[in-house]
Structure 1
Amino acid sequence: SFRCIKHSEVKKALNILQPGYTPSRFALAGHLLNEVFQEEKIKCSEKLYGELVCMSIDGWSNIHNEPIVCATVTVDRGNCICMTALTPLVIHITSEHLTALDSDTIKSCEKEFKCHVASFVTHNAANMAKMRKALEETENTS
C-alpha cells in the first residue's frame, strides 16, 4: 500500500533526504513506480543477456489464503532476479497448472531477456515433482 507515504515518520525521512519533496501516493503508485520498474528491467536485461540461468519457483499463500507463485532466475555470479510473482486464478495449484505456468515463464524469460534457462529448481512437494517430470518429458520431445 502506498498510503504509508502520508505517515509522519516517512514524511520526516523524505524531508531529510530531499527538503520540500512530498510525493503523493498516486505519484508513487503511478508514474514513479513505472519509471523505476523500467529502469530496473533494463538493468536485469543487461545482466541476463546471453547468460545461462537457473530458474527456481516457490509457492505460498497470502493473508487471504490465495496461492502465490514466484519465479526467480540466478546467473553464474549469484545475481538473483525476481521474474514474476503472481496469484494464479485457481485455488488449488495442481501439477498441470504448474507445468503450464512454468513453461510459459521459461519461454517468457528466454524471449524477454535473451538468456537460456539451463536448470530449474523447486522444492519436493508432490505437485512440484510431477510438474518437473512433465517439463522434462516436454523438453525431451521438443
Structure 2
Amino acid sequence: SSICTEHPKVKKAINMLQPGYTPPSRFALAGHLLNEVFQEEKIKCSEKLSGEFVCMSTDGWSNIHNEPIVCATVTVDGGTVYLYDSIDTSEYLTTLASDIIKSCEKEFKYHVTSFVTDNATNIAKMREQTAKYKQEG
C-alpha cells in the first residue's frame, strides 16, 4: 500500500498546485528524512530542557504495527511533555520471563506450569513467545 504522497490523485493535486515538484518517496520519509528531523528535534529539546527540573515518566504503548513499546517522556514545569525515547519491549520481556522461569526452576527445583499476567499487548506477545520457549525446552 502506498502512503498519501504516492497516491495518484495526491500526486495530481500536488502537480496542479506546484508544477514540477516531486514529493519525497515513502522510503525517503521513513529513512533519512525522518532521521534528520529526529536529530534536529532532539537538539532543540536538549537546548530547551538544559538545566530544567523535569518529571520523567514511562508508559507501555503499541506502535502503529501493534508491537509493544515503552515510551519515556519528560514534563517540564507548565505541563509541556517531550518524548525522550521509545523502546521495543517484546524481546526484553520474553528474555526476562524466560530467565525468571529458569532461575526459579533451578533454585527451588520445581517446574513452572503457569505464568499469570495481565492482557496488555506487550505482555500478550511475551506470553506467546514464552509458551514457545516452554514447549521447546
Q: Distance in 1 between matches of 2:61 and 2:28?
A: 30
User: 1:83 and 1:17, CA in 2 relative to 1: closer, same or farther beyond 3 A?
Assistant: farther
User: 1:50 and 1:16, CA in 2 relative to 1: closer, same or farther beyond 3 A?
Assistant: farther
User: 1:61 and 1:26, CA in 2 relative to 1: closer, same or farther beyond 3 A?
Assistant: closer
After superposing on structure 2, the runs of 4+ consecutive aligned residues of structure 1 that deviate more than 6 Å are none
Instruction: Note if contact 1:67-1:91 (Cα within 8 Å) is conserved in structure 2.
Output: no
Q: Distance in 1 between matches of 2:93 and 2:13?
A: 40
Q: Distance in 2 between matches of 1:35 and 1:82?
A: 16
Instruction: Note if contact 1:72-1:84 (Cα within 8 Å) is conserved in structure 2.
Output: yes
Identical positions, percent: 69
* 1:43 to partner: Cα distance: 1.0
1:7 alignment partner in structure 2? 7
**Does residue 32 of structure 2 align to residue 43 of structure 1?**
no
- Unaligned stretches of 5+ in structure 1? 95-124, 126-142
Q: Distance in 2 between matches of 1:84 and 1:30?
A: 18
1:26 alignment partner in structure 2? 27
Q: Distance in 1 between matches of 2:65 and 2:29?
A: 25
Q: Which structure carries more relative contact order (alpha carbon 8 Å, separation 6+)? A: 1
* 1:47 to partner: Cα distance: 1.4
- Tell me the amino acid that sits aligned with residue 53 of structure 1: V
Alignment coverage as a number of residue pairs:
94
1:118 alignment partner in structure 2? none
TM-align CA RMSD: 3.2
Q: Distance in 2 between matches of 1:67 and 1:93?
A: 14
